[in-house]
Chains A and B, each alone.
Chain A
Amino acid sequence: MFYTILTVIYILMLVVITVMVVWHMFETESFTDKLIGALMLVFLILRIFLIK
């Protein structure tokens, strides 16, 4: 039960972070920020789906 609740909270946090990263990628003018954001997305999406 504890594990399930914690996992749901964890995934929700990841989704919020992912949305913010995407939002930042469109907002920023820095090319580096966009690149770093894209790399972060790979890890964030893999975690959201609990693949890795």
Chain B
Amino acid sequence: MQLSKKQKGILYSSCFIILALILTFWSGKNFYDFAHYETEFAIREDVVTRIEKFSKYSPRLKGTVGDSDIYVIEGAEPGPSVLIIGGTHPNEPAGQLSSTLLLENLTVERGTVFIITEANRSAYTHSHPQEASIQYFGIETPYGVRTFKFGSRATNTNQQWPNPDVYVHRTSGQKLSSVDTRNLNRSYPGSENGTYTERVAYAITECIRQNNITITIDLHEASPEYQTINTIVSHNRKEALKIAAQTTLMMELNDVNIRYEESPQNLHGLTHRELGDYTDTLAFLLETSNASQGKIRGAFTEELVLNGSDKFYDKALEKGIGKILYAPPVSLDERVARHVYTIYEIIQAYNKYYGTEQLGELKVNGFPGYQDVLTNGIGHYLKEIKK
């Protein structure tokens, strides 16, 4: 049968549309599954006192993807408290892994530990555009492989859009780049009726305020070329600076290279600035060296996330161009070991200087040592997920 030119056109168009629909379904399912994948955490029912929701502090988050969990571990005796924030930026996996490891291992004798593992859950529902990043990575544990998501730095546009031409930080009026309107760590102290990201920031600020949380530690990572890596950034309150200095000293004495810097007074929206200014907490932010965020990396692979190994970084170091790096890329084990050890030393420093005051000491057990995490790997410390 001979088809006319018009009939051929209709046939080709129909074939292309069917092909487009198949491609849409295939890619759409992939994106949909990623957005709805729920990372699992092992909750020790005999240790975790309660699980709160962000919506308790920021009611408009109720029923949204941003209604994250806050895990609370209370000691037998009241005392000081610490909030550990992981998952502010889902493309910085050491933050989530460190908070998960602590959630699954810490016990508290005196005081209270608050842990957030997914501070910006919306940012876990998509990947950062044009980075070709992996969606998941696995950690080997004695109970099998635990899967974690590698998300974006910013809130999903499905929750907040459009970006303004210039993002004006609400409380300071500081002008920032437009995409930072969806950056949780540029949105503090947040606002109950603000943008989606501001509501998430508000939940964390209110949690600190309402619970009078003594210490807040926000876990981050940055590229090896970024100046602020292997660093404790501390709010400029003298108690916080004293703790940061003591922590740095103890870590250096134990051969873990680290430095500290004071939170810049004119850089707004970040935890180490706003949480210290708007609440009574002693605010710290920790950074490690993450090659997967680097600008000279090659292909984005699971190997890059887990081991920090990349042939372009290796070549840069080999050729001496590596001098531009503030620290060489390291494995996820090292970055988590560093975060966990820093948190331990911050608590020790607090107890050393302020443990004799009215609140007394914060007594927390179960921190694995820096060398132990390096030797055994993170997976050794992750618990079995019980269905």
Contacts and interface: CB of A to CB of B under 8 A. Distances in A.
A and B assemble together: yes
Contacts of B5: 29
A34 B24 contact: no
Interface SS of chain B: helix
A52 B32 CA distance: 8
Contact of A52 (B13, B20, B28, B161): B28
Most buried by A among B17, B31, B35, B160: B17
Given A3-B161, A42-B23, A52-B126, A25 B16 contact: yes
Interface residues of A, number: 22
Interface in A27-46: 28-29, 31, 34-35, 37-39, 41-42, 45-46
A34 B12 contact: yes
B162 interface: yes
Given A35-B16, A41-B24, A50 B161 contact: no
Given A6-B162, A37-B16, A42 B24 contact: yes
Contacts, number: 54
Interface in A1-52: 3, 6-7, 22, 25-26, 28-29, 31, 34-35, 37-39, 41-42, 45-46, 49-52
Interface in B6-36: 9-10, 12-13, 16-17, 19-21, 23-24, 27-28, 31-32, 35
Contact of A42 (B20, B126, B161): B20
Contact of B9 (A3, A26, A42): A26
A29 B9 contact: yes
6 contacts: A29-B9, A34-B12, A35-B16, A41-B21, A41-B24, A42-B20
Given A29-B9, A34-B16, A41-B20, 14 more contacts: A25-B16, A28-B9, A34-B9, A34-B12, A38-B17, A38-B20, A42-B20, A45-B21, A46-B24, A46-B28, A50-B158, A51-B31, A51-B32, A52-B31
Interface of A: 3, 6-7, 22, 25-26, 28-29, 31, 34-35, 37-39, 41-42, 45-46, 49-52
